Structure 1
Amino acid sequence: MNKLITSPAVLKHIWDKHQLSRVDVEECFYNHLEARYLEDRRAKNKTTPPTYWFISKNHQNLTLKIVCVFKEGFIYLKTIYPPNMVELCIYKNAK
Structure 2
Amino acid sequence: KQHAQSLGDAVRPDFPLLHRTVQGGKPLVYLDSGATSQKPQVVLDTLAKFYSHTNSHVVAPVHELSAESCVVFREAREKVARFMNAKDAREIVFTRNATEGVN
TM-score above 0.5: no
Q: Which has the higher strand share?
A: 1
Rg larger in structure:
2
Structure 1 length as normaliser, TM-score? 0.24
Structure 2 length as normaliser, TM-score? 0.23
Q: Which has the higher helix share?
A: 2
Which gives a bigger RCO, structure 1 or 2 (Cα 8 Å, sep 6+)?
1
